[in-house]
Structure 1
C-alpha cells in the first residue's frame, strides 16, 4: 500500500486522510495534541472537527512527527498557512528521501508574501536537498473542497498541480476515489493564487451577506474578485485558463456560497456588526483569509496590481473601517472598462 503522512488533524487534513485511505493508501496523521490523537485512534473519529465521521482502518494518528514521516511516499501538509514555516523547519530533517510534499494550504505568508509551495521549497532546500529536486516534488491540491461534504463522501473534484506532470499523475492516482475526482495541472502559481485569493473574496461576500445586500452585489463581488485574482496571476506568470477552472472559479463559488465556508461565515459575522475580536472568539477553526488578505495585498502591491476588493477587506478586517463606509468608498471608485 502507498504510504502517506498527513501533518494536521483539522477538518481538511482529516477529510483528505479519509480520501487517501479510500483510494487504497495507508495514512498516518500527525497531531500536536496527544489527547486528540488518542481520541482518533480509540474512537476512529475526530471529535473536535469531524464528529460522527468514521475513519477507515487504514488511518492512524500519532503525536510523533518522525513516526508519521517515516517511509512516506507522499507527505501532506495541512496546517494553518501562517504556521507552515515554523512547523516545517522542525519536520524537514525527518522527511523521507524523495517524498512528494503536498500542500493543502490556501494562503500567502505574512511578511514574505510567499506562496505555500515557495515556503516549502525554501525550508526543505535548507536541509541540503537540491532546490531543483524539491521544486519537482512539491505539489498543490486545491479546488472546491469543503471538508464536511468530502468526509460524507459527496461527489467533488479537485486540481493536483505540480511542475512535474508525472508527479502530479502519481498524486492523482493516490487520491482518486469514486466520489473524489482529481485533475492534473502544471500551473502551480495559478492554482495557489486561486486558492489564496478566494478566501479574501469569500470574506467580502460574507460581509455583504451580513449587511443584507442582495444577489446582484454578491455576484458582482464574485465576478470582480475573480478579475482581481486573474490580474495578480498574470503578473506572476500564471496560466489565465487556470482561473476559469476548479482552482479558480470552482473554489471561489464554493467559498462564496456555502454556509460551510469558514471565510464566508467569518465575513457574515463582521457584516452583521460583530467586532474582529468577537468574530474570532466565535470561530473555532482558522479562516485563512483573515490573515492572508494582508499578505495577498502585499503581494499585489509588490507587483503593482490593483486589487480594490482585497484592499477593502483589509480595511474592514484589520483597520476597523465600518463595512458601510468601506462599501461606499468601493462603489465610488472611478468608472473603468470591464477588462481592467
Structure 2
C-alpha cells in the first residue's frame, strides 16, 4: 500500500496586484479573484479598465467572457500596488525592465514578484527573472508558466500551471512557508491548479523556447505538411529546450513538465497561439507585414527567436530548429532552404551518452525535395 503524503496548509497572500491588463493579465486577475483574493489590476487603457470594473468584461482582449466581480482597476501604478502582498507582472517580455523600473518606487519591501511573461532579454541574454532581480533587489522573483490559453483560463476551464521560485534552506525545511507555496495557494481554485517548482531556469527556458518551436510547427503546417512533421518538430524541439536548460544549470526533468512539454504541445497544436498562427501564415507564403491582416500583433516567439539563438550560440548549444526560425524571420533565408538544412543534418543518436554523428546519405536529396516542394 502506498504511503499517504502528509498535506500541510500554506497561507495565501490576501492582496494581489496584477500589472498588465491584456488577455493573460486579465485572466490571471480573474483567477486570483476566484481564489478569494483582493485583486487590483493595473493597465494603460482607461476604457478597457472601466469596462472590467463596470461590465466585468475586457472587450478588447477577452470579449464576451464574464469576469468575477470585485476586481479593482486603475491606471495609477502607486494605487494599484498600495497594500499589495504579492505582485504578478503580466506584460510583454520586451517591456519587463521598464515595467520593473516603474513599479520599484511603489513596491513595499520584500513583496514577492511573479513574472508571467516568457522570454529571454534580447542583447543581454538574461532570463527574465535575472532582469527583474537586477531591477528589484530585495524582492523574491519567480515565474508562473504552463499550458495556458488566456480565454480558456478566463472561462474557468480546468487549467494547470507551474509556480517557480528559488528555494533556500528554510524553504526546504518548511516548504509550506515558501514564497512558491504561498503564491500557488493564492491562485488555486476549483479550476486553476498550480504546481510548485524550485527550478526557475528550467521553467523559464521552457517558456521562452516553446514559442520559437511553435512558429516552426506553424510554418510547416502552413506549407502543407501534417502530423508526422509536427510531432517530429515538437519532440526535437523539446530536446533543444532540454539542452539549453541543462547548459544553464536547469534540470531536464523540468522541461518534461507543465512549463516545458505541456506548454510546448499546447502552443504547437492550435492557431489560438499567435506563434503557431504566425508560422502558418508565413508557411502559406503570406509576407510578414501582411500577417494578421496587417495588424501589428506582438508575437513573443518572433522576439524570442533572436534572444534564444544569441544565447545558444554564446554558450555553444546547438539548436537547429530555433536557428532555422531565426534565419527565416530575421536573416531573410527562404523557408524551404532553412528547413532543408534541418532535415539534411548529420544523423545523430537520441540518448545523450551515445555519441554518434553520421553523414546524412540523402542530404542532397533532402535539399532538392524541399526546394521542389516549396516552389
TM-score bucket (shorter structure): over 0.9
1:215-268 deviation digits (Å, cap 9, x = unpaired)? 111111000000000000110010111011111111100000022111111111
Alignment length, in residue pairs? 331
Partner of 1:62: 74
Match of 1:150 among 149, 153, 169: 153
List gaps (5 residues or longer) in structure 2.
1-12, 172-177, 353-375
Partner of 2:117: 105
CA contact (8 A) 1:78 1:103 kept: yes
Give the 3-state SS of the residue equivalent to 1:232 in structure 2.
helix
Match of 2:307 among 295, 317, 320: 295
Give the 3-state SS of the residue equivalent to 2:147 in structure 1.
coil
Give the 3-state SS of the residue equivalent to 1:297 in structure 2.
helix
Give the 3-state SS of the residue equivalent to 2:53 in structure 1.
helix
Partner Cα separation in structure 2 for residue 236 and residue 327 of structure 1: 27
Partner Cα separation in structure 2 for residue 280 and residue 109 of structure 1: 25
**What is the correspondence of 1:151-230 to structure 2 with a 5 Å cutoff?**
151-164=154-167, 165=171, 166-230=178-242
CA contact (8 A) 1:266 1:283 kept: no
Q: Is 2:43 aligned against 1:31? A: yes
Partner Cα separation in structure 2 for residue 319 and residue 276 of structure 1: 13
Q: Is 2:86 aligned against 1:80? A: no
Q: Is 2:298 aligned against 1:286? A: yes
Give the 3-state SS of the residue equivalent to 2:123 in structure 1.
coil
Give the 3-state SS of the residue equivalent to 1:298 in structure 2.
helix
Give the 3-state SS of the residue equivalent to 1:293 in structure 2.
helix
TM-score calculated relative to the size of structure 2: 0.86
Give the 3-state SS of the residue equivalent to 1:45 in structure 2.
coil
Partner of 2:105: 93
Q: CA RMSD in A?
A: 1.4
Give the 3-state SS of the residue equivalent to 1:27 in structure 2.
strand
Partner of 1:338: 350
Partner of 1:14: 26
Give the 3-state SS of the residue equivalent to 1:9 in structure 2.
coil
Partner of 1:235: 247
Greater CA radius of gyration, 1 or 2?
Answer: 2
Give the 3-state SS of the residue equivalent to 2:151 in structure 1.
helix
Q: CA deviation at 1:286?
A: 2.5
Partner of 1:138: 141
**What is the correspondence of 1:266-285 to structure 2 with a 5 Å cutoff?**
266-279=278-291, 282=294, 285=297
Partner of 1:257: 269
Partner Cα separation in structure 2 for residue 336 and residue 282 of structure 1: 41
Q: CA deviation at 1:283?
A: 5.2
TM-score calculated relative to the size of structure 1: 0.94
1:6-27 deviation digits (Å, cap 9, x = unpaired)? 1111111011111000000111
1:306-327 deviation digits (Å, cap 9, x = unpaired)? 0000000001111222212211
CA contact (8 A) 1:25 1:58 kept: no
Partner Cα separation in structure 2 for residue 172 and residue 255 of structure 1: 23
Q: CA deviation at 1:39?
A: 2.3
Partner Cα separation in structure 2 for residue 326 and residue 334 of structure 1: 15
CA contact (8 A) 1:15 1:147 kept: yes
